[in-house]
Every structure is written in C-alpha cells, then in structure tokens.
Structure 1
Amino acid sequence: MKSLFTTSALMAAMFAPAALANFHVNVGAINVNPNADSTYLNVVESVAGLPQNSSKLDVDSNTQLGLTFDYDLNDNWTLELIAATPFSHDISLDSSVGAVDGLAVGETKHLPPTLLMQYHFMDKQQAFRPFVGLGLNYTLFFSEKVSPALKNVLVSTGAATAGDDVSLHLDDSFGVAVQAGFNYKLNQNWGVHAMVAWADIDTDAEVRVNGTSVQPVTVNIDPMIFMLGARYSF
C-alpha cells in the first residue's frame, strides 16, 4: 500500500506541471446585456385597465467580475468555462402606455455558467490569437423579488390585498452559446483576454399571490455578453 501511494505521488508530481502548462485563467469585467422580449402581461393589463397587448417585460444590463478557465486540448482546441460573481437585474414594464412604461416589476439574481469548445486560429506561438467558440449555457435564477410598485398596482386594482404575499419566480434556463474573441500574449505568463458571446436564455416567470400564479409570462433574455480582462498562463 505504501508503494502504491508513493507511485501515485510521483506520477502526480510528473504530470501536474504538464497539465498546468495547458491551463489559463482570465479575470476581468464581464457585462450581460439582455435583448429582452416577453409575452404580454394580459392579466396585469386587464386588472390595471391597460389596453390589451400593450405591456411586456424588460430586463436591464449588469456588470460583474468575470472569471474564466481555459484548458488547451491541443494547439488549436480549448475548453473554456465561463463563471462570474452573481449578476443582478432589475425587471421593469415595457409598455406603450407612457404612464406605466418603466414601472418597476421586480429584480432577480442569476449565475450563468457556460462551457464552450473553442477553436484558436494561427500558430500557438503567435502573440495574437483570435478564436471562436460554441457551447452550452445553464442559468440559475435566485433571490427573485417583486417591487413595491407592482404590489401597489395589484392592491389598488383588487388583485391582491396589503397583507398578501406577492412573489416572483423564474425557472432556470438551459441553451446554446456562441462566442468570438482573442487572446494577446504580453509575455510568457501574462496577456489580454477579450470576448463577446451570445447565450440563449429563456425563462418562464410567474407573479404569485400567496403561492398561486396570477400572471405567467415567458421571457426571452438572450443577452450579449462582453468580457475584457487579464490572462494568466501557467
């Protein structure tokens, strides 16, 4: 048994440097800019006396600390995992009725881990190397909250009472992601990483009163994602 542990330790010591030589970490600012669209809020329109098919949801953009990990499979192909600190988005009403356009609906946080296969162009020794990527995105929504403004509308129209629990729920999302960008090597270890991506993020949302859905809506978030940061190669 001791011999087995000794052999395993020696193999780990031999292969760890080789594995690290293919490993890169990118750290910088990452921005999620939704191209939001949704189905109409017909229930809210009805209780608030708004014209039919006049109001949808809009989602604002947010910037966080991005952290991505690259592992070179060979000179051209790389696996990349995109991570970040949790994004926070305000959700508002996008309405043709000026009096309620921009009305705060609520807010949510999300984590969008994304795994991509990248193809890097040009020779590995080149300082400037553009790439394209294709992969999968999983978006986890949490900490959803309804705004006081929306609750006031529901209370004033009789759809809820002041003592009711009004909440917001968003389903998690799974979809494709595409990416393009470049890495620029400054020296043996340090460089610049820049990328733009698009992710298919769709969610079914519900406004709930005492746990019962009173307004379901499908939201297509489909954001553009931008990142610029420092790159460290081991």
Structure 2
Amino acid sequence: MKKLSLAVAAIALFGFNTTQAQQQENTTTPDFYRWQVRMRAVGVIPAESANIGIIGGDAAISNSYIPELDFTYFFTKNIAAELILGTTKHDVHTTASDISAIGGPTSTDVNLGSVYLLPPTLTLQYHFNAGQAFKPYVGAGVNYTIFYNAEAGTTVKDVKYDNAFGYAFQLGFDYNINDRFFINVDAKKIFLKTDVTVDASNLATGLNIPASVDINPLLLGVGMGYRF
C-alpha cells in the first residue's frame, strides 16, 4: 500500500510538472510576445493638392525614401498598438501659378525649396492568424506631423508650414522566419493637411501668399522585425 501511494504521488507530481512546463511554453510562443520592433525601408509618396491664394496653381511635393523604426505592443495575441518613427525631406514647388502681377509669366512653377517632416504615427491594430507563420493585420490611428528646417530656395524669401494632426490607416503582414524574427510588409495612408505661408516680400513689398495644402502621403514599407 505504501508503494502504491508513492507511485500515485510520483505520477501526480510528474503531471503537475508537465502542466507547468506546457504553460510556460505557451506563454513564450510568438503569439504571446508583448513587444516587437521593426526596421523598414519606406517610400513616402505624397498625393498632394493645394488651394493657393493670389498666384493660384497647385503644389508639387517630391517622393522620399527613408529608413523607419517602429515599436509594437500587444495587449492580447490579436490586438496591438504601433508607433512609427521616421523623418522625410521633400522638395516643394507650385505648378501653373500666375505671377504676371510682378512681371512674370501667367503660368509657371515657383520653387519653394524643401522641408523636413517628422510624422510620428500611432495606430491600433488587429492581427489575424495568431500562432501562424503568415499574420496579416489592419490598423487605424492618428498622426501629428512636425515641419522643420524649411529652406525657401532661391525664388521667395521664406516659407512657413503649420504643424498638423492627421488620420492614418494601414494594412500589412508579418511572415515568421522563426519564433523571434520575421519579415514585414506594410502600407499606410495618412490624411494630412497643412496651412502654408509664403513670404514673397523680396518680389513685391508686403507680398505674402497663403496656401492650404493636402499632402495625404502613401507610405510603402518592407523590413525585418524582432519579438521580445
């Protein structure tokens, strides 16, 4: 009877230890890593349009290609929040503007130099296929863009951009290489509008040109990620 009791106790202890080991293993699967970090190569493609006062015309903003860093925190195996960090430089000019009032042509491009954008973006995401190698996701959130180091170029005296909030939508997928490393493909659309003031007082005394500019960039990225 004593041997039987010891055997039962041993089996119970083995079962308890096995359950604990399985629970520990489950909490370290990729679906349960709370954090992941990605490094992406991103193309930033503005879909610009503008309402330009006095001289009229439209705006043209160059594409930009940058490295981008992002951090993601998983609240559950499906729901996460992502913060992206990166900065871009864009060349800017107007198109088909009428500067005949100051002796220029009735339809011309006006060089407005360049500007840097710092657009931290926070999105709330839903990740599908938890536990699988291929994990698509969708997300939506907010963006706050800071304009800095604006260079007016050689035509006008100065250009000022107002910092602005915008909305962001995204979709993408992660593809596991192993339980820690993965490949990422991501697309974001940011709806962003800013007010711009062009100081052209070097061309005509007191000339300030206001403009309302929709930038609305598409961000296309591919990179690598790590879970921890």
TM-score range with shorter-chain normalisation?
0.7 to 0.9
1: distance between equivalents of 2:52 and 2:152?
18
Structure 2 counterpart SS, 1:201: strand
Deviation at 1:21, TM superposition (A): 3.0
Counterpart for residue 121 of structure 1: 128
User: Deviations for 1:111-140, whole angstroms, at most 9, x for unmatched residues?
Assistant: 000000000112x21000100001000000
| Equivalent of 1:82 in 59, 81, 84 | 84
Counterpart for residue 210 of structure 2: 216
Counterpart for residue 49 of structure 2: 37
Counterpart for residue 137 of structure 2: 131
User: Deviations for 1:4-41, whole angstroms, at most 9, x for unmatched residues?
Assistant: xxxxxxxxxxxxx98x9310001021121100000034
Counterpart for residue 159 of structure 1: none
Counterpart for residue 174 of structure 2: 183
- Two-structure CA RMSD over aligned residues (Å): 2.3
Contact 1:183–1:191 under 8 Å retained in 2: yes
Counterpart for residue 24 of structure 2: none
Counterpart for residue 94 of structure 2: 93
Distance 1:79 1:107, change over 3 A: same
Counterpart for residue 65 of structure 2: 63
1: distance between equivalents of 2:207 and 2:135?
50
Aligned residues between the structures: 189
Counterpart for residue 145 of structure 1: 151
Moved more, 183-192 or 201-210: 201-210
Contact 2:112–2:159 under 8 Å retained in 1: no
Deviation at 1:96, TM superposition (A): 7.4
Deviation at 1:99, TM superposition (A): 8.8
Counterpart for residue 188 of structure 2: 197
Counterpart for residue 10 of structure 2: none
User: Deviations for 1:68-111, whole angstroms, at most 9, x for unmatched residues?
Assistant: 10111101101100111x21000012227899655422210010
1: distance between equivalents of 2:120 and 2:165?
10
1: distance between equivalents of 2:106 and 2:183?
46
Structure 2 counterpart SS, 1:68: strand
TM-score w.r.t. structure 1 length? 0.75
2: distance between equivalents of 1:87 and 1:190?
27
2: distance between equivalents of 1:95 and 1:184?
46
Paired AA for residue 40 in structure 2: G
Distance 1:112 1:72, change over 3 A: same
2: distance between equivalents of 1:185 and 1:88?
32
1: distance between equivalents of 2:40 and 2:109?
31
Structure 1 residue ranges without an equivalent (≥5): 1-16, 46-52, 152-165
Distance 1:99 1:195, change over 3 A: farther
Contact 2:97–2:110 under 8 Å retained in 1: no
Distance 1:101 1:233, change over 3 A: farther
Distance 1:205 1:96, change over 3 A: closer
Alignment pair present for 1:108 and 2:115: yes
Counterpart for residue 12 of structure 1: none
Alignment pair present for 1:168 and 2:159: yes
TM-score w.r.t. structure 2 length? 0.77
